[in-house]
Amino acid sequence: MRCLLITHLLHRTCDFTCVRHPAPLSSEMINYINKANTTWTAGHNFQNVDISYVRSLCGTMMKGRRLPEVRPGDSIKLPDSFDARQQWPNCPTIQQIRDQGSCGSCWAFGAVEAISDRICIQTEGHTSVEISAEDVLTCCEDCGMGCFGGYPAEAWNYWVNTGLVTGGLYGSKVGCRPYTIAPCEHHVNGTRPPCHSQETPRCVQQCIDGYELSYPKDKHFGRRSYSVSSDQQQIMTELYKYGPVEAAFTVYADFLQYKSGVYQHLTGEMLGGHAIKVLGWGTEGGTPYWLVANSWNTDWGDKGFFKIKRGSDECGIESEVVAGTPHN
């Protein structure tokens, strides 16, 4: 009787702990997600890469030093849906999808993308620049470990205390310090080189040849950096008044296969922390969502963008939101 009881308990324990997840990046996982018929659909994004490589892209160190929290002022009536691309059409960076390449620099990209947008928004489109991910990735010593991980809040602090120069996409020759890590073929079979984890480039405090300004003259500074409350109304108000914000969340293996709809975690192991730019909100099929720009190029997800469930702190998306205001 005792043996039967132990056997029964072992089976019961396994029911709760021995859950088998489909293999990451597999057709089995895609089928599992789509058959579940939840709020989103899956498809092939990453091909011919190992899961360890994808894990290295999730370079955000979660739960770092928290910036002082600033509330965006009195509550206002907010629309049911909002898209910063439509609200500020004269700010082209809001629509841009960048590519972090073979480097865990998402923490830097989420920051400089939102900073670029906010500079344009504050100047009503008169100053439209691409702030350099290369500059903060390679030169901010307090931000973390470069391509091997960093803290979003420290990137915003660096903008305030040290300033950031301009710099566009790899090979663009736009701005003072364009990105030097090439896009690689981590999504579909194509013409880009294969993906291998990348060392952090060295800090070069000099603009590329032919750029009209010196490195110090090209600096853009923030006035202050701060955390935004995890309350969704506060995040929405911040977005509505001042523009896109940076947020960090936990990536699970199923997220890699996102194609459309409103993502919520369904299956798969935890891979790490990831930082992105939040630029809007809405509701789809009755499910509230945040509209988000990723930094894995336009052939990932929904042309580089994705939606994630809003209002329930899905994967921690509302817990670590940071922002800042530019100098006039």
CB 73 within 8 A of CB 237: yes
Residues in the chain: 328
Distances 243 to 41, 55, 88 between C-alpha atoms, Å: 28, 29, 9
Instruction: Report the distance separating Cα 158 and Cα 144, nearest Å.
Output: 12
Backbone angles phi, psi at 199, to 5 degrees: -75, 155
Of the residues 91, 103, 106, 143, only one is catalytic, namely 106
Residue 106 annotated in active site: yes
Q: What share of the chain is helix, strand, coil (3-state, %, to 5)?
A: 30, 20, 45
Short-list 326, 272, 327, 260, CA closest to 60:
272
- For the purposes of burial, counting CB atoms within 10 Å of the CB of 286, is it exposed (0-12), middle (13-18) or buried (19 or more)? exposed
Of the residues 143, 274, 297, 315, only one is catalytic, namely 274
Instruction: Report the distance separating Cα 41 and Cα 307, nearest Å.
Output: 11
CB 328 within 8 A of CB 255: no
**DSSP-H helix ranges across the chain:** 2-17, 27-36, 51-57, 84-87, 106-122, 133-139, 152-161, 232-242
Residue 274 annotated in active site: yes
Coil, strand or helix: which one is 226? strand
Of the residues 140, 186, 207, 294, only one is catalytic, namely 294
Residue 31 annotated in active site: no
Instruction: Specify the DSSP element, H or E, that contains 42.
Output: strand 40-42
Q: Which residues are catalytic?
A: 106, 274, 294
